[in-house]
Chains A and B, each alone.
Chain A
Amino acid sequence: MADNIVSNLTDLQKDALKEIGNIGAGNAATAFSQFLDCKIDMSVPSVEIMPISDVPELTGDLEENVVGILLKVMGEAPAGILFILAEDSIKHLLKIILQKEVDMHNLDEVEVSAIKEIGNILSGSYLTAIGQMTGFNLIQSVPGYSFDMAAAILSSSVIPLSKISDYILLIETDFIDGDDEIEGYFLLMPEVGSLEKLLNALGLGTNG
C-alpha cells in the first residue's frame, strides 16, 4: 500500500513537479552544452512514482556496467541526485573533455575528477534553477562516483530515501546529444518531507 503524499498527488501537483524538472534540467542542459562546447538536448521530464523494488530496473539491463554520480542535496528540501551514463557515453564525454581515450576499468584521479565535475556542473545548475523558482537555498554535497552494475548503483542510491516509505518519487530527465553518442539519465529524488515543501513553495501544497 502506498502510504503517504507520494501516492496521493493530484495531476496539477505532478505537473508542477514536472515543471521543476523542466526548468532545472533546462538550465543544466545549457551548462552542460557550454562545458562540452557541443549541443546537449533534454527530454521532457517525467515524474515517476514507483515501488522501491522497481528502482533497479529503471535503466533496463540490471547488470550493465554504468557510471553513477551521486550527490546529496541539503538545505530546505533535502533530496538525492543521481546521474547515470552508459559506458560508451562516458567514454565519449571524457574524450571531449580530456582529449583522449580512457580505460574505464583503470581510471586515474584526473579522469575520475572529470566525471565528478560533470555531476557538479549539472547538479549545480539544476539546483540553482530550482532555488530561484522556490526561494529555497539548496546545497549539494561532494559527488560520489561508481562504475558498476546499474542495479547496484540505483539500489544503493535510493536507500537513504526508502527509510520511511515503500514508494519513491523521481523526476527524471534524459540528456542526449545530437549524434546519439551521449545518453544520460538525470534523477532528482526528493525526500518525502521535501515534496510537500516544494509543492508549498509553488503554491500547490496539501495544506493550503
Chain B
Amino acid sequence: MDDNVIRVKMAEYNVGNNPTTLITIGLGSCVGIALYDKVNKIGGMVHIMLPENKKDLTPAKYADTGIPLLISEMEKIGARSNNIVAKIAGGAQMFSMGESNSTMRVGERNVIKVKEVLKEERIKLIGEDVGRNYGRTMEFYIKNGDVLIRSHKTDNRFL
C-alpha cells in the first residue's frame, strides 16, 4: 500500500494528489464517487448517503451537494473541471424487507441522482460497480486513476 492513505468516512470527502490513495470502507446503499483529473493527477472522493440535501445539512452526505463540493475542493488544489472523470460504486440494497417502498430502495435512488448530478456538472462517468445486494470497499489510487472494488461476495475488480 502507498505511504499516503486517506480514509474517507461516511458523509465525508477528501482530496489528494499523487501518490495519495483514498479509501472508503463498507459502502452499502451509500455511493462512493471518485473524481480524477488525470492531467494534474489530482483526485477526490466523497461518500454520500442520500440523494438530496433539503435541510442544509452536511453537504458531503448528499449527492446534490457533495459532488459540486468535491469538484470545487479539487479545483482549489489545482484540478481543472474539464479534465475530471468519474468512477462510482455502491448503491446496493443490503436488506430485502419484502417491500419496495422508497426508503428501502434508497441505493437505487442514490445512483440515479449521482449520475444526474455528474451530467449537470459535465463530468464523464467512465466506470461503475453499483446495485445488487452486497457491501463494497473502494480504493482509489491517484497515481494512475485506478479504483479497486473489494467485497465479500465477488472477486476484486478494477474500474
Contact = CB atoms under 8 A, between A and B. Distances in A.
B94 A148 contact: yes
A165 B57 contact: yes
Interface stretch (A16-24, A52-60, A199-207): A52-60
A62 B95 contact: no
Nearest to B27: A152
Interface of B: 9-12, 25-30, 49-50, 55, 57-58, 61, 92, 94-99, 103, 106-107, 133-137, 151-153
A93 interface: no
Contacts of B10: 52-53, 55-56, 151, 155
B58 A56 contact: no
A154 B26 CA distance: 9
B149 to A, nearest CB: 12
A149 B137 contact: yes
A65 B26 contact: no
Contacts, number: 112
A151 B26 contact: yes
Interface in A13-69: 51-56, 62-63, 65, 68
Contacts of B152: 63, 65, 148-149
28 contacts: A51-B11, A52-B10, A53-B11, A56-B25, A63-B152, A70-B97, A143-B97, A145-B96, A146-B95, A148-B94, A148-B134, A149-B25, A149-B26, A149-B135, A151-B25, A151-B28, A151-B135, A152-B94, A152-B136, A153-B135, A155-B29, A155-B30, A156-B94, A159-B49, A159-B103, A160-B106, A162-B49, A164-B55
Contacts of A76: none
